[in-house]
């Protein structure tokens, strides 16, 4: 019997995960901009300074490259840091440390130095904060061998991915979709660690596979609900892990439904959706009844005004229309 | 050569924590040998580069030997070191066998990083050497983090971070000095100021060329030293490391030195005059120290010959070790992108 869940916000699920990790392992600490006295830019770490003290909840100056680099050094030195970068856009200031150090040390040192570091950051658009705070660059990070990239889109994953990431001997980047922090749902009291190497079939269906992640997952669900009224049966996959890609799961789904639509808030060119599409074409081409399709963000810097921003982002309506067209193509 | 204080030289030997008490004469001979090891290793590497045995980038340290020698002499084997791409000397003096370093430069499996890092990326767990970083300034934040981990765990080691004058222009220098000072971390920042950021002279890259003075802005103690004088470097590092070790705060030491060879093997050295190089060569740290030893009767020709012979033997062995090394099988290409299961 599944224990009855309790209403909880996404940000609380992340907070619980941090608290659990801090309590379980004294090597774990949290550092980042405004994580302590402010309580976290998205209020994720609210109250943690009071609970754990400033030795373990560390407010950093605004120096992404160096506090991420310090996280790498601390990980090498035997600690298990959780580094919070306020948003993915700011993480570009630390890209050198992530890509040239965290991702390379193990290989470059011939297996001598692994970097057990977790970096959390907010990602995604839809909040009218324009072109320097709204992009979804996790697909870009997924390009880099040596790191793992995960995107918790559900309360279970927000609660459960952190501990597994901390147990991982290598750097793990956790992308929290900022639009989800306020969302609420039920989470079982005994929710805990979940895997960070598989994607997950969230809704079983036979007509089409919709692959989504992060902020697009809930849109895929909504579209699937609407489409079911027309008798279109969508299978919805939460990608969950952008690197390494669990292709077996989505390939077998596509082999069942023979149609695939990928919904990605990243830009289309060179995106994770491009990679998934390529893998489907490389490995399941003859299973397809129709070409793979993608819905991505418009290839523009994110505009501020609401109508323009909404037009730039993948929407439920786009998914519904695309699925109808794809499913009816071969009929 | 300027010896300010008379020492009966006690020095902590790299590789273990035992105090090796040497007479001043023995110590001086040891310093000479260490510098000579670097010099000969580098000369040999250049030769092997010409023979296509070593490829890629090769950044020679010739001219700067007094710095690595003075620095490593003071550190204990338990201290951390983060270095740059011009780090062969540090790797040797931290105790990585010269054969292992040479094999790494050959790209052989017997190299300290299986041949995956090469000249610019020498890592060794036993030497607590955290790379050879080839992104200028990229090692400084890592050094800060290593020191943070030590502080959090109550370890008494210090972290020594090597970088050049070029790195002082990078944001990471300023960020890392700020963090180390703000969080009171035991980092010994060693700046090897060789006056050129690759091919651009310091006067074209720094508004304030007195680099040691930069530390004031971060409330970090600092000083500079003649980096061509091994005795002076050792003394300065001993003082600086003493502050870091005792007070558990950072220290910034600028070692003013000069690179006799080009930046890398691809550099045609067009940006500085032959006269300038010749002028600096008069202050060759190895040759001037040899003269000092002979003049002060700390060594006679026999002592020097003995050292030179030992070092030649070591280098010869290193080369034959590298020559007889093997290539890592191509099947291992994707090994160590991620840790094998079970590693924590």
Per-residue pLDDT tens for B134-160?
A: 999 999 999 999 999 999 999 999 999
pLDDT at A272 over 80: yes
Contacts 24+ apart (CB under 8 A), A17-23: A17/A158, A17/A159, A17/A160, A17/A161, A17/A162, A17/A163, A18/A44, A18/A45, A18/A48, A18/A82, A18/A162, A19/A48, A19/A51, A20/A163, A20/A192, A21/A80, A21/A82, A21/A162, A21/A163, A21/A166, A22/A48, A22/A52, A22/A56
**Percent of chain A scored above 90 by pLDDT?**
96
Which H or E element spans position A294? strand A293-297
CA distance to A138, A139, B310, B343, per residue, from A121 (Å): 10, 14, 55, 26
- Averaged pLDDT, B116-141: 97
Residue of B112, B115, B143, B152 to mutate for A, most A C-beta atoms under 10 A: B152
Which residue of the set A12, A20, A133, A235 is catalytic? A133
Return the bridge partners of B21, or none.
B10
Among B116, B143, B178, the residue with its CB nearest the CB of A107 is B116
Q: Which residue of A has its CA nearest to B116?
A: A108
DSSP A159-208: HHHHHHHHHSSS-EEEEEEGGGTT-EEEE-TT-----SS--EEEE--SSE
pLDDT, tens only, B291-334 = 999 998 889 999 999 999 999 999 999 999 999 999 999 999 99
pLDDT, tens only, B40-92 = 999 999 999 999 999 999 999 999 999 999 999 999 999 999 999 999 999 99
Highest CATH level, class, for A200-329: alpha beta
Q: Does the beta-carbon distance from A77 to B145 stay under 8 Å?
A: yes
CA distance to A1, A30, A113, A118, A317, per residue, from A74 (Å): 42, 11, 12, 11, 46
Return the bridge partners of A119, or none.
A83, A173
User: How many other C-beta atoms are found inside a 10 Å radius of the C-beta of residue B300?
Assistant: 11
Residue of A53, A112, A168, A169 to mutate for B, most B C-beta atoms under 10 A: A112
Cβ(A181)–Cβ(A42) below 8 Å? yes
User: Which pLDDT score, from 0 to 100, does residue A329 have?
Assistant: 67
How far is A126 from chain B, CA to nearest CA, in Å?
32
Q: Does the beta-carbon distance from B135 to A96 stay under 8 Å?
A: yes
| A133 is a catalytic site residue | yes
The CATH number for A6-187, chosen from 3.40.50.970, 3.40.30.10, 3.30.2350.10, 1.10.3720.10, is 3.40.50.970
Among B112, B135, B172, the residue with its CB nearest the CB of A66 is B172
Q: Does the beta-carbon distance from A146 to B135 stay under 8 Å?
A: no
Residues of chain A within CATH 3.40.50.920 domain(s) are: 200-329
ipTM exceeding 0.90, yes/no: yes
Q: pLDDT-derived band of residue B14, with 50, 70 and 90 as boundaries? A: very low
Residue count of chain B, please give it.
344
Residue of B78, B119, B120, B141 to mutate for A, most A C-beta atoms under 10 A: B141
Which residue of the set A64, A176, A235, A293 is catalytic? A64
Contacts of residue B175 in chain A, CB cutoff 8 Å?
61, 63, 65-67
pLDDT, tens only, A124-174 = 999 999 999 999 999 999 999 999 999 999 999 999 999 999 999 999 999
pLDDT, tens only, A28-68 = 999 999 999 999 999 999 999 999 999 999 999 999 999 99
How far is B242 from chain A, CA to nearest CA, in Å?
22
Q: Does the beta-carbon distance from A108 to B114 stay under 8 Å?
A: no
Query: Structural domains in chain B?
Result: 22-320 (3.40.50.970)
How far is B264 from chain A, CA to nearest CA, in Å?
21
Among A77, A111, A167, the residue with its CB nearest the CB of B149 is A77
How far is B144 from chain A, CA to nearest CA, in Å?
5
Cβ(A185)–Cβ(A155) below 8 Å? yes
Cβ under 8 Å to B: A residues 137-156: 145-146, 148
DSSP alpha helix (H) spans, chain A:
10-24, 48-52, 64-76, 88-91, 95-96, 105-108, 138-141, 155-167, 217-229, 247-257, 272-284, 306-312, 316-329
Q: pLDDT-derived band of residue A207, with 50, 70 and 90 as boundaries? A: very high
Contacts of residue B123 in chain A, CB cutoff 8 Å?
105, 108-110, 112-113
Residues of chain A within CATH 3.40.50.970 domain(s) are: 6-187
Q: Is A43 on the interface with B (CB under 8 A)?
A: no
The average confidence (pLDDT) of chain A is 96
CA distance to A297, A326, B73, B161, per residue, from A63 (Å): 29, 47, 33, 19
Residue of A82, A103, A108 to mutate for B, most B C-beta atoms under 10 A: A108
How far is B180 from chain A, CA to nearest CA, in Å?
10
Q: What is the Cβ-side half-sphere exposure of residue B340, based on CA atoms within 13 angstroms? A: 5
Q: Does the beta-carbon distance from B179 to A67 stay under 8 Å?
A: yes
How far is B117 from chain A, CA to nearest CA, in Å?
5
The contact set of B with A (CB < 8 A) is 80, 82, 111-117, 121, 123-125, 130-131, 133, 135, 138, 140-150, 152-153, 171-172, 175-176, 178-179, 182, 335-339, 343-344
CA distance linking residue A252 with residue B124, whole number of Å: 44
């Amino acid at each position: 019997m599944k224990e009855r869940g309790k209403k909880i916000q996404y940000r609380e699920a992340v907070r619980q995960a941090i608290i659990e990790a801090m309590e379980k392992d004294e090597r774990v600490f949290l550092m980042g901009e405004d994580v302590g006295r402010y309580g976290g830019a998205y209020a994720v770490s609210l109250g943690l300074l009071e609970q754990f003290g400033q030795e373990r909840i560390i407010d950093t100056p605004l120096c992404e490259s160096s506090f991420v680099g310090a996280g790498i050094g601390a990980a090498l030195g035997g600690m298990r840091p959780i580094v919070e970068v306020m948003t993915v856009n700011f993480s570009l200031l630390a890209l050198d440390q992530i890509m040239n150090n965290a991702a390379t040390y193990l290989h470059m040192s011939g297996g001598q130095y692994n970097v057990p570091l977790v970096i959390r950051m907010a990602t995604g658009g839809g909040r009218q904060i324009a072109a320097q705070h709204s992009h979804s660059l996790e697909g870009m990070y997924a390009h880099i061998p040596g790191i793992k990239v995960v995107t918790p889109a559900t309360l279970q994953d927000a609660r459960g991915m952190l501990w597994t990431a901390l147990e991982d001997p290598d750097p793990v980047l956790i992308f929290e979709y900022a639009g989800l922090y306020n969302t609420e749902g039920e989470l079982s009291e005994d929710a805990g660690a979940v895997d960070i190497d598989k994607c997950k079939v969230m809704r079983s269906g036979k007509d089409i596979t919709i692959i989504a992640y992060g902020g697009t997952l809930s849109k895929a669900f909504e579209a699937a609900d609407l489409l079911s009224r027309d008798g279109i049966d969508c299978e919805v996959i939460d990608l969950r892990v952008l690197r390494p890609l669990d292709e077996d799961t989505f390939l077998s789904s596509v082999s069942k439904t023979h149609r695939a639509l990928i919904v990605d808030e990243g830009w289309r060119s060179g995106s994770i959706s491009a990679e998934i599409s390529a893998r489907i074409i490389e490995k399941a081409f003859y299973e397809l009844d129709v070409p793979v399709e993608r819905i991505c963000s418009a290839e523009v810097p994110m505009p501020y005004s609401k109508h323009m921003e909404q037009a730039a982002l993948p929407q439920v309506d786009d998914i519904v229309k695309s699925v109808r067209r794809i499913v009816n193509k071969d009929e | 050569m300027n010896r300010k204080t008379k020492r009966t030289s006690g020095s902590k030997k790299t590789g273990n924590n035992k105090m090796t008490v040497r007479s001043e004469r023995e110590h001086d001979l040891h310093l000479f040998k260490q510098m000579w090891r670097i010099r000969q290793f580098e000369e040999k590497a250049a030769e092997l580069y010409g023979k296509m045995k070593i490829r890629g980038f090769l950044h020679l340290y010739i001219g700067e030997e007094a710095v690595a020698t003075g620095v490593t002499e003071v550190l204990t084997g338990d201290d951390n070191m983060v270095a740059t791409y011009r780090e062969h000397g540090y790797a040797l003096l931290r105790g990585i066998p010269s054969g292992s370093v040479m094999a790494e430069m050959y790209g052989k499996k017997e190299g300290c990083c299986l041949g995956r890092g090469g000249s610019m990326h020498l890592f060794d767990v036993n030497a607590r050497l955290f790379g050879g970083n080839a992104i200028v300034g990229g090692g400084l934040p890592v050094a800060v983090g290593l020191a943070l981990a030590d502080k959090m765990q109550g370890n008494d080691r210090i972290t020594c971070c090597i970088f050049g004058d070029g790195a002082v222009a990078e944001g990471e220098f300023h960020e890392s000095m700020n963090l180390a000072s703000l969080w009171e971390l035991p980092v010994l920042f060693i700046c090897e100021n060789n006056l050129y950021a690759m091919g651009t002279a310091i006067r074209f890259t720094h508004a304030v060329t007195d680099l040691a003075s930069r530390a004031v802005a971060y409330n970090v103690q600092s000083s500079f030293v003649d980096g061509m004088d091994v005795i002076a470097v050792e003394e300065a590092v001993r003082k600086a490391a003493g502050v870091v070790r005792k007070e558990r705060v950072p220290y910034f030491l600028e070692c003013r030195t000069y690179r006799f060879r080009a930046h890398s093997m691809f550099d045609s050295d067009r940006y500085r005059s032959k006269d300038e190089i010749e002028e600096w060569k008069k202050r060759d740290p190895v040759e001037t120290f040899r003269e000092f030893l002979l003049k002060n009767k700390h060594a006679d020709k026999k002592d020097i010959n003995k050292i030179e012979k030992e070092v030649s033997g070591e280098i010869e062995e290193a080369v034959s070790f590298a020559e007889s090394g093997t290539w890592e099988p191509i099947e291992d290409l994707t090994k160590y992108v991620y840790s094998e299961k079970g590693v924590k």
